[in-house]
Amino acid sequence: MRILARFLLSLAMVSSWVVASGSAQACQLDDCGGTAARDSAIDAWYSSANVGSVVGASGAGTVDYVWRLMRPCALVEEGGGVCNALDFENCPAEPGQVVRYLTVQQRPIVRPDGTAVVPVPPGALPGDPIGGWTTDRTACIDITALNPPPTPEEVFTYFERLPLPQLTTEHAPPGDGLSGLPVVFWTDSPATQTFTVDIRGFTVVIVAEAEQFTWRTGDRTTPTLTTTEPGSAYPDHAAEHLYRSGTYTASLTVTWGATFTVDGSAPADVPGTTTTDGPPVTFDVVEAAAVLTNPYD
């Protein structure tokens, strides 16, 4: 019978534009049960085999204790102290590997037969923890199995919720247009945005870039104009439309793509795109009338 041991993996979260996801993505192992995410920790249950692979416990140690991995600074603050430089250390890691400077702590639990490595208090049930936490060691520990780096698909769920800007629509001529004279559309809003988000303790930098610009002309004859650049005013414009006289409302829909890095890694593409709709602009198109004048008046 396998005994489940509980890990509390405290992760220092980085300030973010986006609130942490409500469901943990760290649980990737076949023997992993339910998980839940909080602002400062991820709780997960793993089988005894996974305990040994992460903290180096073996034999009876995998079933006699519940283990937790804590950042040293979190332990100092838990005790009412103030963190210093000695509570932090950068750990070398291979690509795709997650190694963190952590304190390994253990706490006795009641065995299935009701015994434990320490006296069992009355009423304690199998699996109940006994006493306080004791420190086993503080070191660089590979926690990839517990908390793998965010996948591109996971990053996309954050990307599509970013507060991307609504790009404005500029048009010329300004004010009223003239029938027979094309109206030029462009946007001068920033087409690149950078966001830093925290995903399960990883610092993820998402660089969003406008990939497609779709102007909705408000004219049934040509409802949309699509370009891959923001355009500019005449004569270097990318989008124009010839209107008949009338009143029209135009707007801009932008399709955003993105790349991302995890803790300073090489950039990777975010799969999928998202869109934003800019504010509408309304203008009149009028007929130009010829007026004869006497040049000698």
pLDDT (tens digit per residue) in 213-225: 999 999 999 999 9
Residue ranges of the alpha helices (H) in the chain? 48-55, 61-64, 72-78, 152-159
pLDDT at 5 over 60: no
pLDDT band, residue 48 (cuts 50/70/90):
very low
Q: Which of 279, 273, 280 is nearest to 209 (CA)?
A: 273
pLDDT at 295: 66
Residues facing residue 204 across a β-bridge: 197, 262
Interval 139-167: pLDDT, tens: 898 888 777 889 999 999 999 999 999 99
pLDDT at 179: 77
Give ∠ CA 268-274-280 in degrees, rounded to 5.
140
Enumerate the domain spans of the chain.
4-142, 152-286
Q: How many percent of the chain have pLDDT more than 90? A: 46
The rounded distance, in Å, linking the Cα atoms of 183 and 33 is: 60
Interval 65-80: pLDDT, tens: 887 888 898 888 888 9
Query: 190, 165 in Cβ contact below 8 A?
Result: yes
Q: CB 80: neighbour CB atoms within 10 A?
A: 6
Look at 193 and 7; give whichever has higher pLDDT: 193
pLDDT band, residue 170 (cuts 50/70/90):
very high
pLDDT band, residue 281 (cuts 50/70/90):
very high
Q: Which of 15, 115, 104, 5 is nearest to 63 (CA)?
A: 5
The rounded distance, in Å, linking the Cα atoms of 46 and 121 is: 26
Neighbouring C-alpha atoms within 13 Å toward the C-beta of 40? 7
Q: CB 246: neighbour CB atoms within 10 A?
A: 12
pLDDT band, residue 62 (cuts 50/70/90):
low
Q: In CATH, what number does 152-286 get?
A: 2.60.40.10
Q: CB 54: neighbour CB atoms within 10 A?
A: 20
Q: What is the largest CA-CA distance in the chain?
A: 116
Q: Please state, rounded to an integer, the average pLDDT across all residues of the chain.
A: 78
Average pLDDT over residues 275-289: 90
Answering whether pTM is above 0.75, one says: no
- Of 93-102, 122-131, 148-157, 273-282, the range with the lowest mean pLDDT is 93-102
The rounded distance, in Å, linking the Cα atoms of 192 and 184 is: 22
- Amino acid identity for residue 52 in this structure: G
pLDDT at 33: 30
